[in-house]
Structure formats: structure tokens, C-alpha cells
Amino acid sequence: MGDESTRWTIVVDKETDRSVRMRLAERGMKKGDLSRYVKDAVNRQLFAQSWLDFSSSFGDMSEEARLALAQEAVDWARKS
């Protein structure tokens, strides 16, 4: 994790808890890896939502043009 962490308290149903813990165990991960797993899932969801927002803002462009524009933005951000 990053330098600073924030503790969350989340509630999930028992089936979700069981499924996630089984998935972690299948991959050789331990109980402490749950935070990393949740962080990854949240980041993926944030990215997916950001992409949908971006795509809807440029809905009149082709998918190819949107991807090129997004890549240009990523390249610019990496240079900065």
C-alpha cells in the first residue's frame, strides 16, 4: 500500500466473504491480502467508471479516436 492508509469498515454478505476468502486461498494469499484485493477491485471500478464518463463525453467520436485521445492524455501525463 501507499505511505498513508485509511482504515475502512465495510459490510458484505457471508457468501461474498466466503467467495473472496476462497479466491485468496486458491491464489496462496493470506487474510492480510484482503486489503490489497479490495484496493485493486476499487481501482479497477474507478478506472472503468472514468472510462465510461470519458467515452460518453466524446460519444460522437469513433472508438479508435477515443482510444487515441486517451493514449495522448496518458502520454502527456507521464511526461509531466
The ranges of the chain with pLDDT < 50 are none
- Residue 53: inside a domain, yes or no? yes
Residue-wise pLDDT tens digits, 59-79: 898 989 988 988 998 899 999
- Residue 48: inside a domain, yes or no? yes
- Residue 36: inside a domain, yes or no? yes
Tell me how many degrees the CA angle 59-65-69 measures, rounded to the nearest 5. Answer: 95
- Residue 4: inside a domain, yes or no? no
- Residue 42: inside a domain, yes or no? yes
**Residue 3 has what DSSP assignment?**
S
Specify the pTM. Answer: 0.69
What is the reported pLDDT for 2?
59
Number of structural domains found in the chain: 1
Range of the domain at 66: 14-79
What is the C-alpha separation between 11 and 3, in angstroms, rounded? 25
- Residue 25: inside a domain, yes or no? yes
